[in-house]
Amino acid sequence: MPVSKRTLESMTTELPTLAWSDADLAELLTPGAGVITGFQEFVEKARALARIDLEDTPLADLFPKPPRRAP
């Protein structure tokens, strides 16, 4: 089921979010400025991503690990 404006409105009133205007929420669902990907399209992509089994892969550190040096 696609994300609805009502869902987003409920989140902003029931959860500790910032206040977002009607226009901000509308832009998420039906992008008109040509800047952001539509939220629904993104949700679908994120859903596909969530199906990947990451096994026990941990979170990435802030910086990559330097190569090991020979002792």
Partner 1 sequence: MNLTIGELARGFAGGADPGALAASLVDRAAAVNARAHAYITLTREHALATAASLERGRECGPLWGVPYAAKDLFETRGIRTTAGSRVLEDWIPTRDAVVIARLAAAGAILLSKTNQHEFAHGATGINAHFGTAPNPWQPDCLAGGSSSGSAVAVALGLAAFSLGSDTGGSIRVPAALSGIVGLKPTAGRVSTEGMVPYCWSLDHVGILARTVADTGIVLRAIAEPDPTLPALPVADLSMPRPATLRIGVPRDALLDGVAPDILAAFETAMKFLHGEGARILPIDLPDLDQARTVSLLVQMPEALSYHRRYLPTKSDLYGDDVRSGLAFGQFLLAEQYVGAKRMIERYRRELAATLETVDALITPTCAIVAPRIGATTVTIDGREHAVGNALTRFTGLFNMTGNPAISIPAGRDKAGLPIGLQIVGRVYDDAGLLAVAALLERRFGPLDATDRYDRFLGA
Residues binding partner 1 (CB under 8 A): 3, 8, 11-12, 17-21, 24-25, 27-28, 31, 33-37, 39, 42, 45-46, 48-50, 52, 54, 57-60, 62-67
Whichever of 67 and 71 has its CB closer to partner 1, that residue is: 67
Whichever of 1 and 60 has its CB closer to partner 1, that residue is: 60
Helix (H, G, I), strand (E, B) or coil at 61: coil
Alpha-carbon distance 8 to 1, whole Å?
14
CB crowding 7-24: b at 16 or more within 10 Å, else e: ebeeeeeeeeeeeeeeee
Least separation in angstroms between residue 71's CB and partner 1 is 14
